[in-house]
Every structure is written in structure tokens, then in C-alpha cells.
Structure 1
Amino acid sequence: MSLLTHLLSCLFGLGSWVSINGLWVELPLLVPQIPEGWYLPSYLSVLIQMANVGPLFVTLMHRFRPGVLNEVAVVYAVIAVGTVASFLLGFFWKETVVVGGARRSVALLVLTFFLATVDCTSSVTFLPFMMRLQPRYLTSYFVGEGVSGLLPAVVALIQGVGVVRCINGTQLLNRTSNATTFDLQAQYQPPNFSAEEFFFFLSAMMLVCLLAFLLLNHHPSVARQNPSRSYTNGVKQEAQRGRKWAEQKPMMEPCGQRKPRSSFGSGSYSWLQVSYILGLLAWANALTNVVLPSVQSYSCLPYGNNAYHLSASLAAVSNPLACFIAMFLPNRSLVLLGVLTAAGSAVGGFIMAMAVLSPCPLLVHDSAGAVLIVSSWFLFVLLLSYVKVMIGLILRDEGHGALVCCGAVVQLGSLLGAAAMFPLVSVFGFFQSGDPCNTWCP
């Protein structure tokens, strides 16, 4: 195995979601300086889902005009747009324009739409490109994809984003007991470096992704690692080799009776199994990409600001950790993947319950509550990330079209999750946020 190819695959995967993940972790610094305020996260959710027009176009082209899109050229264009948009954000994110009699951050919203289009489209372009490399490098790509969430979080932590100091606010007098109390107020501390520099960092990460992609295409040692197959614009010309793990596939049919195989990919799975695999993938991505992240602050802030930041950091760490586990302990059993998905969903259900109970969840005044919520976030992301990686490996062996389908299902799951959560969070105000400095619960 080539360590260089593993490293380049990882750096290539880094560019998949680093821009949007970076924008999310920078929100506490952006929100006080723009007219949209804390409505910005809602706008971002809508923009990200609108950006699914990119993967929709690519998927339809692969379905109805296979071979027309030049896969390599599309990836170059996607990375270039992401690099330029991140760079321009460093200059224009605070600029406002009067729209409908009110000031709006038009530049920020437009550039965010381009970034979201880039990241969403990467699901149906980066993954199929990895079909050109040997299967073991796909896990390295998923490690990079996980790091695309971890790295911005670490940089934002160094920057000091979201660091809160509780100060004495309004002095209150309890007339019945003549006791004087103080209302603590959360005061965000100034960052160690500006948002402009953070956006330039994101642009640099996209340049690193571009360089990795260049080397994956042209470096001689990478070429020697490529399987002996030929591709034209991502369309496979040669039949796939036999798989060593074929005997490991679980028999879902009762009494070992073989069902007719489907026309999906190489035809190794029945349509029932294909539906099962894609259903798990859509469900896992809906939970990890949208549903639970949209209520993370509600589930964690009642336990304190430290619990919130620790849960976010460990959740970001657990994603690449799951990729490493999948690299050394792969298991393609569909039954096991279903069990892991059910376990991760149960943990996610607990997190959602704590968000619903906010600002007074279980054990809110006990340090055990903070430990429980942080551990839950870590385990939730770890379990479902492992499932996503293993499904990606399964679909990779089913062929190029299966990987395109994989990316489309990832975006579909995220879209359905956003459609379910946006009204609850942003329209009806179903959740109530906890105060990192004041928690009054019986």
C-alpha cells in the first residue's frame, strides 16, 4: 500500500465539507456582527438544501446521459469554486445591502450558497472519482471527510470562538426576604484572530484539496497503485474482479433460499438488500448531518458551556475515529450494520429527548448529566459514522454508478432531515435553549 496515496486520498476528502463545517463553527463570531442575528442558522439550513440542485444535476446526467460529464473536470470546477468563494468571504462577509427596506448580508448568503453547492456536489463527484483507486483508499477518503469537520472545530477552538464568561448582570431584590441576588449574564470573549483570517484558512484548505487531487491524477506512484481497469469519464469499461469477501455477505432470505439478483451495480444484491442498504444510508445521514446537529445546543447548553464545547469536539473526533476502526476492523454484515444503526438511533433518541426537555433535562444540576450527554454525542456519531463508511465500501464494490447513487442518497437523507427539523426549530420554536450561566430548574 502506498502511504502517499493514502495521504492524498485523505487530503482530497478533507475538501468535501470543510467549508460549510467551518462556517457552522464560526457562527458565534459572525452572528453578533450581521443584521440577521441568530436567524442566520435557519437561513443557512435553507441555502444548504437549495444547493442540492448541484448533486441533482450530476445524478440526472449520470442516469440519462452517462459518460457526457467529464468527471475530472467537474471535480476541478467544484474545488475551484469552493476555493474562490471561501477567499471572497474573507473580504465581504460583513458587507450588507438594503433589500426591502432592511439591511441584509447578501454577499454572505450568496457566497454561502456557492459553498453549499460545492460541498453537496462533492458527494456525487468525489466519491465516484475514488472508484479509480483501489478499494482500500476509499477508507482514507472517509477519514479525510471526517477530518473536514474536526479540523475547523480545532481551529475555532484555538481562535476562541464561543468562549463565554459569566458576569454579574442585573441586581435583583427579593422583596419577601429582602435578599439580594445577581442575574448572571453570558458575555462572549473576543477571538484570538478574526473571522477574515479563518475564512482565508478555509480557502487554504481547499487549495490543499486541489493539490491532492492534482497528484492523485498525475503522480507516477499513484498511477502504479491504480487497479488494472480503464475508465472514460468515470464509466467503467471492464468487468469487476471477483471479491474475496463475497462469502461473507449475509443471507437475508429465510432457509438460505436465493432470491433473484437485481440490476443494481454488479447485481450481487437483491432489490430487497439494495433498498435496505440505501435506507440505512439515508437514515444515518439524516440523523448525523441534520436532525441531531440542529438540536445540539438545546441538548448540551443546559449542562453548561463546557459540556457543549466538549460534546461538539468529541463528536468531531469520533467521525475520523470510526473511519480508522473501519480501516482495521471492517465488517460488511448487513445484519450488524442494522444493529449498529438501531443502537446509534437509540442514543440519538436520548439526545433528542434531552433537547425536548431543555432547559431542564435529566440530571441538569449533576455533573453526571454532563458526562452522560457528552458520552452520548460521542457514541452516537461513532456508531453511525462506522455504518456510513461500511456502506460506502459496499457500494464502492458495486461499481461507479452505485457510488453516484450513494452520494445522491446521502444528500436525499440530509434533505429529508432538514425538511422535518426546520419547521420544528425555526418556525414553531418547539425547542427552548438553555442558558450557559443560569439554569433554574426544580
Structure 2
Amino acid sequence: MRVNGTADWRRGEEVPAHKFKMSQMPRRLSNMSLLTHVLACLFGMGSWVAINGMWVELPLIVPEIPEGWYLPSYLTILIQMANIGPLLVTLLHRFRPGALNEPAVIYAIVSMGCVACLLLAFLWKRTVEIAGSAHSVPLLVLTFFLSVVDCTSSVTFLPFMMCLQPQYLTTYFIGEGLSGLVPALAALVQGVGVVHCRNSSHISNGTLVNGSGAASELEAHYQPANFSAEAFFIFLSAMMAVCLFAFLLLNRHPGVRREHEEGRYLSAGAGVGKEEQGLRLRSQQEEKPMIAPVDHHQKECRSSFGTGTYSGLQVVFIFVVLAWVNALTNAVLPSVQSYSCLPYGNKAYHLAATMAALANPLACFIAMFVPIRSLLLMTFLTVSGTGIGAFIMAMASLSPCPLLVNRTSGTVLIVVAWILFVLTLSYVKVIIGVILRDEGHSALVWCGAVVQLGSMLGALTMFPLVSVYSLFKSGDPCNTKCPL
């Protein structure tokens, strides 16, 4: 169509001259692309920032509440109960396709997260007497709501990203990785869990013994926090508010909506599969994104899943790997991180936790530029990451005296192991997300559901081993003696 003889520089079509100026289009679209990347990252940061923040704040919360160190066990149960949210969303997509308004659900859960974090800042110390004993009911109830928010984000945030072009999905995964790193860095600044060993002074046979006496021992003293738990929860509420604002712009900003129109993937209604495939092929012909979708129209249909690129056996393999990787990274290994790292010292623990959190977005960043969809590579990385995880689990089982304890080489080894473990398996998760993104909206819904399923199975497996049967032992940070 020719109107006033002005051509669209991207599509080669004729468009009204008053809408575009040829000299300004590349720069304007480049700026909008950068804005969309930033918004996608901030949106992803809100996915798990609340629960991740709760976990890193435990050393400050536990001494102030009647549940004490049983709180982590309660949190594990609450998070698994919260999977009712993603279960309902997945069932609606399965039996009532098109009935769920995803943007409305995202607005609701993120707003609930903002309010819950803000209420925690004022109510986390409050207790309610039940059956003659005090319980932190407000803390547990609000934590359950936060768990519903974060668990449901897995099956709503990812499918929403289908509205945007493929390269923004990896940016979203970078933000999701930062949802663990940012609270960890905030906790480091806060000084959470920093312990100092000091000589104790006490009376032995009527004599004051101080430090050098035979009856003296070292005592662990935790460093006072640089700012309160109340301030930390307000910070988490602000992070959720930033996520809400980012989603509002992703959904409503005129410039970003142009990205919607260029990369639109319909998700509901009759004939969804054909419309998705046709629009995807048209988008591929118009431009080559940073993460280019697979050229489906040149390949024969191998199954009824998505575009038919992968056979039924390959689809099952991809989802099994996804569940396994998320079980390891979200539940199994995090449940024993303290047992594997603390014997090497408090600095080793904090360094491993922080660097592992940094490895997650780093893997997403690598996948943005090197998106290798090879199932063979995926298998190799999964086996490698699982092997590294087995080593970490072995060190945790040997706690409080693992290999090379009290040696610098041991500290370096455990920190590097955690970095490589998170780096390899995070790359696998991103590549699976990229693969399923090309298979359509419903594939990403199932992706989120399988992520939660794997995490749930991992948590339910480790909970009795750690909390009921106490198979892992922790030592005194100041007085544990290990044989040389």
C-alpha cells in the first residue's frame, strides 16, 4: 500500500508519511528496545524477590519469634501449599483456554505481594496465643500469601512474555536471576548472619577464667544488623512495586505496545495453533532477533506438541530435564547450602551464596548471546551440573568436617563448585525456556507448571531428610574441632 510514497524501513511496506520520519526511526526503535529490555528485567526481578528475601532474612527473624529455627521447615510447607495458585492457573488453561485474563491476574498477585511485604514490616513480630502457646500467625499467613504470589508468577509471567519478541525472554530470565541476587546483596549490606568468635569468661572453681584459662572456650557472637528487618521488608515491598510499575509499562506504554504488535503471539480463542504459527513465521521473515526462533516451516511436523519441531519423546525429555534441574537448583541443594559451606567458615558461606546468586543472571546473559538449543549440549550440561551437585551434597553429608576443611583450597573448591553448579544448570533452564517459547503460549504455561512441580518434589524429598531425620549435622562455628 502506497501513501504519500513513504516506505517502512523494517518491512519494506508503504506507510503514511506523517507517522514516521526515516532519519529518526532506527534511533527511536533502538531506544524503545532498550526500554523494553529494562522493563522485562525489572518485571522478572519481581518473580521470586519476596520469598528469596524472606530466606536471607531468617538469621534476624528467627531469634525474635517463638517458632525459632523451626521457621525454615514451616516456610517449606507454606511454599508447597502455595502451589495451589499455579495448579489452578494450569487447570484453567487446560480446560478453559482463553478464559483467564493473564494481565489481570498479574496485576492482582503483584499488588498482593506489595501489600503483604509492607504488612510484614509492621506485623512480623506479632504473636497470637493458640492452645496456650504463642505463634507468629501474622508472619506465617503473610508468608503464605507471598508464596502464592511467587509460585503463581511461574505460570503467568512467562506466558505473558509471549507477547514480546523472543530476545526479551532471556532478559526476563536475567531479571529472575537478579530476584535472588538483589536480596542477597541487601542482606550482606545489612550484615545478616555475620558471626565473630570471642573468648568467653566464666567462673571455674571460684576463679574467674578469661580467655587463656583451661576452662575457657570461644563463643559465637552475631554482629548487630546495620538496619532492621522492618526496613528490609519495606525494601522488598518497594521491589514489588517496581515490578508492578514495569509490568504496567510493558502492558500499556505505547512504544512497548508496538513491540507487542511486531511479536504478537495469540493465546486464546478458536484456531489458536494456526494463528500462532502464522504470526510466528511472519515475525521471523520481518526481522532476525538476537535469539532467533527456529525456522519451523522448513521442518516436518514430528508431534502434536506446539509447532511439531520436537518428537513426543524429545518433549518428554525436555520437561523431565526441566523438572530435574529446578528440583536441584530450587530445593535440593539450597536446603543443604549451609551444611556444605559453613564448615569452611562464615566468609566461605557468604561468598558461595553471593557468587552463586550472581551466576544465575550471568548464565542468562551468556544465553542471550550464545543460545545453543542442542539437546546433546543440554544433556551434557545437565549431567555435569548434577555431578557438581553430587559433590556439594557429599560435602554437606560430611559436615561439620568435610574434605579440606580448615584449608584455603577447601574454601576455594566449595565456592567454585557452587558457582559452576548454578551457572551450568541456569543455562539449561534458560535454553529450555527459549525452546518452549518457540513452541507457543501453552508450552510456556506448562513450562511454569513443571518448574513448580520439580521444585515441589525436591522440597518434599529434602524436608524429611533435613528436618525430620536430621541426616545433616551442623557444627559450632567457633568450637568444632576436625581431625587434620
Q: Which category of TM-score, normalised to the shorter sequence, fits these structures?
A: over 0.9
Structure with greater Cα Rg: 2
Q: Where in structure 2 are there 5+ consecutive unaligned residues?
A: 1-29, 205-211, 285-291
Residue 142 (str. 1) matches residue 173 (str. 2)? yes
Find the residue that maps to 1:239 and give its secondary structure. Answer: helix
- Give the structure 1 partner of residue 124 of structure 2: 93
The answer to whether the aligner puts 1:426 opposite 2:467 as a matched pair is yes
Matched residue, 1:265? 306
1:182 maps to which of 200, 216, 222: 216
Where does structure 1 lack aligned partners over 5 or more consecutive residues?
252-257
Aligned partner of residue 69 in structure 1, secondary structure:
coil
The answer on 1:355 being equivalent to 2:396 is yes
Give runs of aligned pairs for residues 144-163 of structure 1, distance below 5 A: 144-163=175-194
Q: Of 244, 254, 277, which residue of structure 2 is paired with 1:239? A: 277
Q: Equivalences for 1:334-349 in 2 at 5 Å?
A: 334-349=375-390
Deviations 1:127-150 (CA, angstroms, capped at 9, x unpaired) = 000000000000000000000000
Instruction: Find the residue that maps to 1:185 and give its secondary structure.
Output: strand
Distance 1:138 1:245, change over 3 A: closer
Secondary structure, counterpart of 1:345 in structure 2: helix
Shift, 1:410, TM fit: 0.2
Residue in structure 2 matched with residue 296 of structure 1 by the alignment:
337
Count how many residue pairs are aligned between Structure 1 and Structure 2: 430
Which is bigger in relative contact order (C-alpha 8 A, separation at least 6)?
1
1:217 corresponds to 2:218: no
Partner of 1:124: 155
Moved more, 150-159 or 230-239: 230-239
Aligned to 2:4: none
Kept in 1: contact 2:318–2:432 (CA 8 A): yes
Q: CA deviation at 1:247?
A: 7.1
Q: Are 2:276 and 2:440, in contact at CA under 8 Å, matched by a contact in 1?
A: no
CA deviation digits over 1:46-98, x for unaligned, max 9? 10011000000000000001011111101101101111101100010000011
Give the RMSD, CA atoms, in angstroms: 2.1
CA distance in 2, matches of 1:394, 1:99: 50
CA contact (8 A) 1:82 1:118 kept: yes
- Which aligned pairs between 1:59-98 and structure 2 lie closer than 5 A? 59-98=90-129
Q: Which residue number in structure 2 is paired with residue 255 of structure 1?
A: none
- Residue 308 of structure 1 is aligned with which of 344, 349, 363? 349
1:183 offset after TM fit, Å? 1.8
Cα displacement (A) at 1:246: 3.8
Q: Choose the corresponding residue for 1:18, options 25, 32, 49.
A: 49
Partners of 2:343 and 2:361 lie apart in 1 by: 28
Whether the 8 Å contact between 2:293 and 2:438 is mirrored in structure 1 is: no
* Kept in 2: contact 1:72–1:233 (CA 8 A): no
Q: Secondary structure at the match of 2:134?
A: strand
Residues 438 and 72 of structure 1, relative CA distance in 2, 3 Å threshold: same
TM-score by length of 1: 0.93
Letter in 2 for 1:101: G
- The residue that corresponds to 2:6 in the other structure is none
- Letter aligned with residue 439 of structure 2: E
**Aligned pair partner of 2:61 in 27, 30, 39:** 30
Contact 1:71–1:233 (CA<8 Å) still a contact in 2?
A: no
Q: Which residue of 2 aligns with 1:254?
A: none
1:171-226 deviation per Cα after TM superposition (whole angstroms, max 9, x unaligned): 698xxxx9715321111111111100100000000000000001001112212222
- Kindly indicate whether residue 235 of structure 2 is the aligned counterpart of residue 204 of structure 1: no
Query: 5 Å matches for 1:48-59?
Result: 48-59=79-90
AA aligned to 1:229 is R
Aligned partner letter, 2:264: R
> Does the 8 A contact of 1:55 with 1:124 survive in 2?
yes
Aligned match for 2:264, one of 218, 229, 244: 229
CA contact (8 A) 1:67 1:232 kept: yes
Determine helix, strand or coil for the equivalent of 2:216. Answer: strand
SS in 2 for 1:186: strand
CA drift of 1:439 comes to 2.5
Distance, in Å, in 2 between the alignment partners of 1:46 and 1:181 is 43
Shift of residue 334, structure 1, vs aligned partner: 0.5
Match of 1:318 in 2: 359
Q: Residue 67 and residue 149 in structure 1: after superposition, are their counterparts in 2 closer, same or farther (change >3 A)?
A: same
Could you say what secondary structure the match of 2:478 adopts?
coil
What does the per-residue CA deviation read over 1:299-355, in whole Å, with 9 as the maximum and x for residues that have no partner?
011101110111000011000000100011110001001100100010000000000
Which amino acid in the other structure matches residue 63 of structure 1? Answer: R
The separation in 1 between residues aligned to 2:265 and 2:467, in whole angstroms, is 49
Give the CA deviation at 1:441: 1.1
CA distance in 2, matches of 1:123, 1:92: 27
Determine the structure 2 residue equivalent to 1:46.
77
8 A Cα contact 1:303 1:365, kept in partner: yes
Relative distance call for 1:94 and 1:441 in structure 2 (3 A) is: same
Q: Counterpart in 1 of 2:21?
A: none
Opposite residue 154 of structure 1, the aligned amino acid is L
**Contact between 1:12 and 1:212, CA under 8 Å: does it hold in 2?**
yes
Change (3 A) 1:271 1:32: same
Q: 2:368 aligns with which of 327, 335, 344?
A: 327
